[in-house]
């Protein structure tokens, strides 16, 4: 009996995606070993954060890097950094932002459930454009003497109705404004770890540590300009400041470093080929099933360049809608998590599956149908 079974909790086969509510992802052995080793010693946390940051910056071809407790915490610290800089007097006055620039510009079409992390820092989000389109003059008009930064949410799924990232950076930098890129789920490709910052010129980019990197779920990676990373550090733990509530432990720092090292050593071309094989297996299996249509879909829910399978059900033939199929998959043992694709479809993703689990998902679907 494993630890979850001892608590009466069924394990989950994750054919959905790297969701926080499902535990993010599964850490590979090198990450687990590194975290276990880190847990066995006391260490100077300021020195550890600094040295881990130096190593992560080297690995990701950035000026500097910082480990935080997830991408949302990264948004919080990045917002503070752009408003206070490394000014200890300003930091000491927090949460008061009196006398500081406290507005952060965001595309209307980029409003997401995670932007409260920006408002938690005390910043005011200023929307530009609308859900359908944005013009450069609207962006220019939104910039005032109170503007501290620009927040850009990366991902193909949010590219409609917004200015491109290069154009956004060009306008922002013309006004000496930093650009923060929320790239929480934008891996793969691994090159994104330096593409947004080194290649395109964004000032900060934030990644989740517990998604495709397969690091600790309670970790995030911030990369970019050295002065802004320093400002994040001054606002964050282990300092006894506003970011203290988002404490990152020695295990998360070492675990994330090990995860990035592991991730950059992987054969991502082979990974993609394997994902395509799994998706094709699902498509081939269910294409001829009565009342079911199956096809490869692309990209995935976060706009990542990953394939997944779309199965759609004809309730007049199967007697089932998508929500019923999803619920029956969830009610089994082990539970199987899939995402809904409208009232009659579900998505199956291959990138969160362990070997042999694609077949278990397939067999369960056959039983349900």
Per-residue pLDDT of the chain (369 residues; tens, 9 = 90+): 789 989 999 999 999 999 999 999 999 999 999 999 999 999 999 999 999 999 999 999 999 999 999 999 999 999 999 999 999 999 999 999 999 999 999 999 999 899 999 999 999 999 999 999 999 999 999 999 999 999 999 988 888 899 999 999 999 999 999 999 999 999 999 999 999 999 999 999 999 999 999 999 999 999 999 999 999 999 999 999 999 999 999 999 999 999 999 999 999 999 999 999 999 999 999 998 999 999 999 988 888 899 999 999 999 999 999 999 999 999 999 999 999 999 999 999 999 999 999 999 999 999 999
Query: Is 168 a member of any domain?
Result: yes
Distance CA 74, CA 185 (A): 13
How many other CB atoms are found less than 10 A from the CB of residue 194?
18
Distance CA 31, CA 3 (A): 20
Residues 320 and 348 in one domain: yes
Q: 318 is written with which tokens?
A: 């199967």
Residues 220 and 364 in one domain: no
Residues 59 and 203 in one domain: yes
Residues 317 and 248 in one domain: no
Query: Is 36 a member of any domain?
Result: no
Distance CA 83, CA 172 (A): 15
Q: 253 is written with which tokens?
A: 């720092």
Query: Is 359 a member of any domain?
Result: yes
Query: Is 28 a member of any domain?
Result: no
The pLDDT value given to residue 362: 97
Helix, strand or coil for residue 321? coil
The pLDDT value given to residue 271: 96
The b-or-e profile of 249-275 (16+ CB within 10 A means b, else e) is bbbbbbbbbbbbebbeeeeeeeebeeb
Residues 229 and 345 in one domain: no
The pLDDT value given to residue 159: 85
Residues 225 and 212 in one domain: yes
Cα angle 209-203-109, degrees, rounded to a multiple of 5:
75
Task: Give bridge partners of residue 149 from the DSSP assignment.
Answer: 104
User: If we measure between CA atoms, which residue out of 187, 198, 170, 179 comes closest to residue 63?
Assistant: 198
Number of domains in the chain: 2
DSSP class of residue 198?
Answer: I
The pLDDT value given to residue 157: 84
Q: 74 is written with which tokens?
A: 């990264």
pTM above 0.75, yes or no: yes
Query: Domain holding 260: CATH number?
Result: 3.40.640.10
Query: Is 114 a member of any domain?
Result: yes
Helix, strand or coil for residue 119? helix
Choosing from 264, 283, 303, the residue where a domain stops is 264
Residues 253 and 130 in one domain: yes
Choosing from 219, 240, 264, the residue where a domain stops is 264
- Can you give the residue range of the structural domain that contains 275? 3-21+267-368
Residues 111 and 249 in one domain: yes
Query: Domain holding 333: CATH number?
Result: 3.90.1150.180
Residues 209 and 274 in one domain: no
Residues 137 and 61 in one domain: yes
Residues 257 and 276 in one domain: no
Residues 339 and 305 in one domain: yes
């Amino acid at each position: 009996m494993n630890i979850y079974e001892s608590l009466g909790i069924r394990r989950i086969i994750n054919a959905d995606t790297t969701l926080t509510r499902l535990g993010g992802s599964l850490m590979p052995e090198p990450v687990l070993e590194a975290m276990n080793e880190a847990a066995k010693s006391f260490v100077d946390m300021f020195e550890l954060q600094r040295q881990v940051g130096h190593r992560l910056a080297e690995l990701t071809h950035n000026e500097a890097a910082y480990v935080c407790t997830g991408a949302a915490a990264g948004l919080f610290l990045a917002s503070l950094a752009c408003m206070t800089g490394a000014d200890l007097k300003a930091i000491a006055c927090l949460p008061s932002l009196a006398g500081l620039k406290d507005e952060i510009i965001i595309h209307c079409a980029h409003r997401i459930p995670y932007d409260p992390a920006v408002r938690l820092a005390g910043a005011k989000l200023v929307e530009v454009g609308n859900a359908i389109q944005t013009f450069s003059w609207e962006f220019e008009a939104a910039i005032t003497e109170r503007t501290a930064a620009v927040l850009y949410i990366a991902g193909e799924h949010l590219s409609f109705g917004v200015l491109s990232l290069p154009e956004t950076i060009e306008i922002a930098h013309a006004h000496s404004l930093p650009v923060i890129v929320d790239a929480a789920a934008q891996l793969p490709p691994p090159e994104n770890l330096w593409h947004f910052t080194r290649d395109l010129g964004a000032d900060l980019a934030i990644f989740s540590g517990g998604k495709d990197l397969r690091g600790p779920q309670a970790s995030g990676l911030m990369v970019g300009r050295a002065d802004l990373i320093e400002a994040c550090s001054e606002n964050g733990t282990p300092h006894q400041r506003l970011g203290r509530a988002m404490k990152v432990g020695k295990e998360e720092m070492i675990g994330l470093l090990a995860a990035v090292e592991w991730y950059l050593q992987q054969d991502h071309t082979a990974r993609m080929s394997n994902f395509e094989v799994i998706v094709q297996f699902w498509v081939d299996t269910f294409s001829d099933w009565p009342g079911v249509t199956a096809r490869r879909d692309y990209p995935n829910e976060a706009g990542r360049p990953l394939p997944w399978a779309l199965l759609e059900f004809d309730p007049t033939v199967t007697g089932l809608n998508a929500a019923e199929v999803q619920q029956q998959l969830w009610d089994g043992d082990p539970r199987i998590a899939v995402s809904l694709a409208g009232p009659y479809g579900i998505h199956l993703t291959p990138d969160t599956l362990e070997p042999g689990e694609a077949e278990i998902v397939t067999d369960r679907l056959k039983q349900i149908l």
